[in-house]
Structure formats: C-alpha cells, structure tokens
Amino acid sequence: MLKLAEKKLKYYKKKLNQESVTGVKPTVALFVSNKPIVGVSNITYIGKIIKDAGGINSLKLLGSPYPKLSLEHLIKLNPDIIISILYHTGTNNDS
C-alpha cells in the first residue's frame, strides 16, 4: 500500500511540475462515491483545496456541492486528473 501511495505521489508531483513549466493548470475531478458517481464542486471544502493546490475543478459548474454524474458525463468532462477518495481493499467485497 505504501509503494502505491509513493508511486501516486511521484505522479502528482510530476503533473504539478508540468503545470509550473507550461503555465497550464490541470483539470481535476475528485469523487467521494462510485455507486452512484458523486463528485465535489468548488463550493465544498475539498473543492477549495483543489483550487488552492493549483487545479481547476472539472465539476465546478455543476451547481451542487456533491453532484451526481453519469460515466458518460465524466468522459465528456475529460479531466486531466481523477481522484477517488474511496477506500478499496482490492477484493470483490468492496462496494
């Protein structure tokens, strides 16, 4: 689990360095549920963290603090970074 976290941290640091070199801020979609797919908008605390970290929240214009999305809508948004804060053990028993 620690190696996975280190790998993801290295990836995100690389993405942030790209932003600082190119001047382009990455678009970010963060999800708190996958059944249904529920994200966070700019009017949440997590949304403010995304903005403060230099990202552009892909879900900022959806009008709800925790908007529900279809998979098709997520694909249409096409965020640069997708973050899920769900706990996943890697077994088939996860929801």
Is 70 exceeded by the pLDDT of residue 6? yes
Span 10-62, pLDDT tens digits: 887 777 666 666 677 889 999 999 888 999 998 898 888 888 888 899 998 77
pLDDT band at residue 9, thresholds of 50, 70 and 90?
Answer: confident
- Cβ distance 58 to 28 under 8 Å? yes
pTM > 0.75: yes or no: no
Span 86-95, pLDDT tens digits: 766 566 655 5
Please give the single-letter amino acid code of residue 35: K
What is the longest distance spanned by two Cα atoms in the chain? 42
* Rounded CA separation 55/29 (Å): 10
What's the rounded mean pLDDT across residues 49-77?
A: 89
